[in-house]
Structure 1
C-alpha cells in the first residue's frame, strides 16, 4: 500500500494564502498555454509529417491582445482539411484531427500522471508538484471538452475525425469517450485522492480554493465548451450537465479527498513505485 504523507497536518494555520492564490492563478494560465500549444502543434506537426503542411510551426496566431495571450482564443493549428479530402486521404485527415486530443492532451496527461506518481515528496518541492497537478488537469480536462462534450457536432476535431473515418459521430462517441472517462477516473481517484492533503496543506483556505478551481476548470471552463461555437443542441446539453451537475459534485469530491486519502482510498501502487506526493 502507498505511504500517505502524515508529517504535515491536514489543516495547519493559514500561511501566505494570497501568495498561494497568486501561484495557483499563474500556474493555471501557464499550464493552459502549454497544454493548448501542445494540442495545436500536435495537429500541425502531424499534418506536416503527412505532407499536408509546409511549416509545422505556422499556426494561426491571431491578434496580440490580452485575451488571446492569456487564453489563446484566436489560435488554431492552421491546417486546411479541404485539400486532404480532395486528395482522397481521408484517413490522414482523421489522424491529423485525432493527434491533438491523443498526443497534445492524452499523452500529456499520462506523462504528468507518471511524474507525480513516481516522485517522492523529498525529491521535489510542493509548488513544482502542484504545477504538474494543474498541467495534468489541463490534459485530462481537454479530453473531456472533446469527448463527450463536442463529439456530436458538424465541425471541429471530432467532426473531422468522424468524416475521415466515414462514420457517424454517434458511432465515434463511445470510442473517444472511453479514454476521456478513464482519464477522469485516473485524475480524481489516482491523483486527487492520495495527493490532495499534501499538495494543498497550509490551512483550510488552500484546499477549498483548489477544489473550486479544480471543478471550475474541469467541468466549468472545459466542460462548458459545447455552449459556445455553435456546436449544436447535444453538445450544449452535455455542457449544461457538466457545468451544473458535475462541477459542484467535483468540488465536493475534492473537499472530501483529504479524508479518503488518509484512509488509503484510491491508492494504486506500492512503496517501491514511490509514495504519493
Structure 2
C-alpha cells in the first residue's frame, strides 16, 4: 500500500452541522470564562494587596447583546492612579500582570495537566471543553503579547509604568512565554485532542483547526487592527490575521493528514508482516 493513500472521507451530514453549532456555543462560553478569570485575577490580586475593597466589584459593562456574548465592556475596575502615586510600583506590576500570568497563562498550563489525566482523556466531550478553555487562555495571552505589548496603554503598559520601563521592554520580557503557550497549544495540546474530537470526520477536523486558528490569530490577534494601540500593534495584528491564521490552518491540516497517513501505512505494513508470517 502507498504511504499517501487515504480512506474515503466521511460525507458531510446533519451531524456535522450540529457539531459545528455545538462547537460555536462551546467557544463562546469558554471565551467568557477565560475573560472573567483574567479580570478577576486583576481584582483579586488588588484586593489581596489592599487596593480593592470588593474583588467581585469589577465593571461588568452595559447590558448590550454584544457585551453579554463577548464581554467587551467588562474591565477589572482597578484604580491604578493612587497605587502609582503612592510609590507602590511592584503592586502595580503584580495587579496589572495578574490577568495575563495567573488568569490565563497559569490556567492554561493547569488545564493541559488536567487534560492528561485518565479521567479527562477517557471523556471526549470533557477533553474538548478543557482544550477550548485552554485555547481562550492562550488567545488572551497572545492578544496582550505581542499584539498589545508595544503600546502606550493596557495591562502591559501599566505594568511597565510600575517599574518605570518602556512598554516594549516589558513586552519583550513576556514574549518567550507567549510564544511558548501559542506553540504548545497548536502543536502539543491540539494534537492530543484532535482525533478524539473529530471522530474520524474530515469536516470536523477542518472545523476544529479553523476555529482554533481563528480565535487565536484573528479574534484575539486582531485586537490592534483598529490602530487604537498604535502602529506597531496594528502591524502585528495585520500579520496575525492575514498571515499567521491561514498559515497555521494549512500547517495543522497538513501535519495531521501526514501523521494519519503514516499511521495507516504502518498499520498496513504490520498486517502484511503478520500475514506473511502466518503463511510460512
How would you bin the TM-score normalised by the shorter chain?
A: 0.7 to 0.9
Give the deviation of 1:68 after TM superposition. 0.4
**1:128 maps to which residue?**
126
| Matches of 2:68 and 2:25, distance apart in 1 | 13
Tell me the alpha carbon deviations over residues 41-64 of structure 1, each in whole angstroms, 9 at most, x when there is no partner.
000000011111110000111111
Give the deviation of 1:100 after TM superposition. 0.2
Change (3 A) 1:94 1:47: same
Give the deviation of 1:91 after TM superposition. 1.1
| Matches of 1:228 and 1:31, distance apart in 2 | 25
Structure number with greater Rg is: 2
Choose between structure 1 and 2 for higher RCO, CA contacts under 8 A separated by at least 6 residues. Answer: 1
Task: Give the unaligned 5+ runs of structure 1.
Answer: 1-8, 265-277
> Could you state the TM-score of these two structures normalised by the residue count of structure 1?
0.86
Change (3 A) 1:49 1:208: same
| Matches of 1:172 and 1:234, distance apart in 2 | 15
State which drifts further: 254-263 or 176-185: 254-263
Contact 1:195–1:261, Cα closer than 8 Å, also in 2: no
**1:225 maps to which residue?**
223
Q: Look up the SS of the partner of 2:102 in the other structure.
A: helix
What is the 5 A alignment of 1:1-16?
11-14=9-12, 16=15
Count of aligned positions: 255
Contact 1:150–1:226, Cα closer than 8 Å, also in 2: yes
**2:91 maps to which residue?**
92
**2:249 maps to which residue?**
251
Report whether the alignment pairs 1:109 with 2:96.
no
2:236 to 223, 235, 238: 238
**2:117 maps to which residue?**
118
Contact 1:193–1:260, Cα closer than 8 Å, also in 2: no
Q: Look up the SS of the partner of 1:225 in the other structure.
A: coil
Give the deviation of 1:107 after TM superposition. 1.3
Change (3 A) 1:137 1:261: farther
**1:157 maps to which residue?**
155
**1:185 maps to which residue?**
183
Change (3 A) 1:122 1:33: closer
Give the deviation of 1:10 after TM superposition. 9.7
> Could you state the TM-score of these two structures normalised by the residue count of structure 2?
0.86
**2:275 maps to which residue?**
none
Q: Look up the SS of the partner of 1:58 in the other structure.
A: coil
State which drifts further: 97-106 or 201-210: 201-210
Change (3 A) 1:43 1:10: farther
Change (3 A) 1:46 1:256: same
Q: Pairwise CA RMSD of aligned residues?
A: 1.9
**1:4 maps to which residue?**
none
Task: Give the unaligned 5+ runs of structure 2.
Answer: 1-6, 264-280
Contact 2:128–2:193, Cα closer than 8 Å, also in 1: no
Tell me the alpha carbon deviations over residues 146-196 of structure 1, each in whole angstroms, 9 at most, x when there is no partner.
001101111100000110111112222221111000101111111123432
